[in-house]
Amino acid sequence: MSEFIYTQKRTRQYNGPVDSADHNARIEENYKDLVYLYNKYNVTDQKLSEAFQRVLKDHIFLNQYIKDMDDRITALEAAENLISIHSYSQIDNIAIPNGEDGIQADEVLSYDPIYNVITLPKIDGASHSKLKFFTGVEGQIIPDFFETKISNTLPGVDTQGAILDSTNVYNAILDRSDKYWKRSIITDTTSPYGAQTYLYIKIPAEYTGSKKTNFIKLNPFPLFGVDILSIEYTTNLNPTMTEQDGWYPLNRDRLYDGNSEAVGKVAPGAWTTVGSDYILNSGPLAFYFPELEITAIRIVMRQKNYLIENNKKIYTYGLSDLDIRYDKFLPSGRMILKFDAPEGELISSITSVTPKIYNVSPALLSQAFGYRVIYQDGSIYTLENPGSSNNVWIEVTLTGLADGTAPVLSDLIVNYN
């Protein structure tokens, strides 16, 4: 249905137009409506084509990733006497030990089903994006002071003079399924480096009035098909978005340096061995870090895979979502997670509970994480072990650190007898 209809309703009970001028006016109105509908159809068709191209490329890389995940799950299931977080449905905050008060709504830990992480209770009213802007009348807008830059000075096929098919970077911050940033390099040759680029994003203090930042999220495009090699920041008051700004790795403290389990959980580009923290074939990423006065972010992206179309090699990378935020949290919170014994087994006792928190150093984990084991005895929940059972509950407590770091729990490894 068009927003404006040119053809006017004419009330004539028994006959049509009474003169040629009236007839011509109606034909002109009909013509304008047909032109409008035709243009509307073309716009809709273009949007559908763009959405289809996004889905097609995502699915190609998802298919490859699913096979890899199947192999990994098979290997993990071979491990004995170990269970972990695998589903949102494991949250079970009603399993309160007998005689205790329940968890209050404002102290329940926040769970993000997209990035599969648990963190402190978020104060939505005091949290805000540094890139996504909204008005009451226009909805989401791109402000005049939003600024990004692409630098293709890295080795590979994405170089000066390369043939490009690109959309605007600001598409990555628009909350619309048909909008995403893609950068396709069309070439006759290949390179062992693939296609690489620097993506610079300036954080506009003009909007927020503050440079304080503690969170970045990005969804590479195509999903599970792009490598994220580094994420860096600058505190330069007037960033030029060049090498001269002075860039620091987001994981400046080199947390979990060399620990392969932390790849993808810590921002890449800081570990001692260059490349050991690269996030290959990356899925959605989210990183919480200590509060910093950041003025710009720099991301190094790489695409080593290519598709062949019309005998040309096409390297495609980009982002379907990007946000840089300051999120405010309560100082602590709790959540209860239910763990079921594998089919055919029982849990007689819990031998250890190991949190996977990669934005807190091992020396500070005891300050950030605490837990209790809860059992079910008949119709009540208790801290006393009544014997072998099919289920066990773990109450998790997270506490913020003095530097403002909100601990992020990405998994909980429960060992049992």
175 with 314, same domain? yes
182 CB-near residues (< 8 Å, 6+ apart): 54, 165, 166, 167, 221, 316, 317, 318
Binned at pLDDT 50, 70 and 90, residue 2 comes out as very low
pLDDT confidence band for 330 (50 / 70 / 90): very high
Per-residue confidence at 68, pLDDT binned at 50, 70, 90? low
Asked if the structure places residue 120 within a domain, the reply is no
Domain end, chosen from 326, 360, 389, is at 326
My answer on whether 199 and 163 are in the same domain is: yes
Whether the predicted pLDDT of 317 surpasses 60: yes
Residues 156 and 96 in one domain: no
> 258 and 141 share a domain?
yes
Q: Quick check: is 258 in a domain?
A: yes
Q: Is the dihedral of CA 16, 22, 27, 31 positive or negative?
A: negative
Quote the mean pLDDT of the chain.
Answer: 86
Q: Token pair for residue 321?
A: 């979502």
Is the model's pLDDT at 191 over the cut of 80?
yes
Does residue 153 contact residue 161 with C-beta atoms inside 8 Å?
no
Quick check: 65 pLDDT over 60?
A: no
Together in a domain, 289 and 371? no
Q: Answer with the one of 326, 350, 367 that is the final residue of a domain.
A: 326
Query: Which of 104-108, 173-177, 208-212, 264-268 is least confident?
Result: 208-212
- Burial 281-294, CB ≥16 within 10 A → b, else e: bbbbbbbbbebbeb
pLDDT category, 78, cuts 50, 70, 90? Answer: very low
Q: Tell me, what's the pLDDT at 255?
A: 97
Q: In this predicted model, what pLDDT tens digit does every residue of 227-239 receive, in sequence order?
A: 999 999 999 989 9
Omega within 30 of 0 (cis) for the link into 222: yes
Task: For residues 42 and 153, state if they share a domain.
Answer: no
Q: How big, in percent rounded to 5, are the helix, strand and coil portions of the chain?
A: 20, 35, 45
Same domain for 99 and 70, yes or no, is: no
Top-confidence residue, 291 or 59: 291
Predicted local confidence at residue 359, as pLDDT = 96
Query: Minimum mean pLDDT among 209-223, 242-256, 294-308: which range?
Result: 209-223
* Of residues 111 and 31, more confidently modeled: 111
Flag the least confident range among 80-84, 182-186, 197-201: 80-84
Per-residue confidence (pLDDT) for residue 1, from 0 to 100: 39
Q: Which of 130, 129, 132, 89 is nearest to 111 (CA)?
A: 89
Assess if residue 237 is contained within a domain. Answer: yes
**Single pTM value for the model:** 0.80
| Domain identity same for 344 and 357 | yes
Looking at 120-134, 206-220, 280-294, which range is the least confident one?
206-220
Read off the pLDDT band of 70 (50, 70, 90). low
The answer to whether residue 341 sits within a structural domain is yes
Residue 407 lies in a domain: yes
Domain stops at, among 326, 352, 372? 326
What CATH number is associated with residue 145? 2.60.120.260
Q: Is residue 371 part of a domain?
A: yes
DSSP calls for 253-288: T-TTTT-GGGBTTB-SS-SSSTTTT-BTT---EEEE
pLDDT number for residue 47:
62
Whether residues 83 and 186 fall in one domain: no
Q: Is the pLDDT of residue 387 over 90?
A: no
| Residue 39 tokens, joined | 């243009």
**Is residue 337 one of the residues assigned to a domain?**
yes
Cβ atoms of 194 and 157 within 8 Å: the answer is yes
Which position has the higher pLDDT, 19 or 212?
212
Do 90 and 26 have their domain in common?
no
pLDDT for residue 28:
78
The mean per-residue pLDDT over the stretch 121-142 comes to: 87
Range of the structural domain that residue 353 is part of: 79-109+330-416
Q: How distant, in Å, are the alpha carbons of 49, 59, 154, 202, 279 from that of 169?
A: 19, 22, 19, 12, 21
Average confidence (pLDDT) over 118-126: 93
Same domain, 178 and 86: no
Let me know whether 234 and 311 are in one domain. yes
Each residue's pLDDT tens digit, 143-170: 878 899 999 999 999 998 889 999 999 9
* pLDDT band for position 133 (cuts 50, 70, 90): confident
* Domain assignment present for 288: yes
pLDDT value at position 143? 81
Can you list the positions of beta strands (E) in 93-210? 110-112, 117-119, 128-129, 133-135, 139-141, 148-151, 163-166, 181-187, 195-202
Q: Is 70 exceeded by the pLDDT of residue 251? A: yes
Number of domains comprising the chain: 3
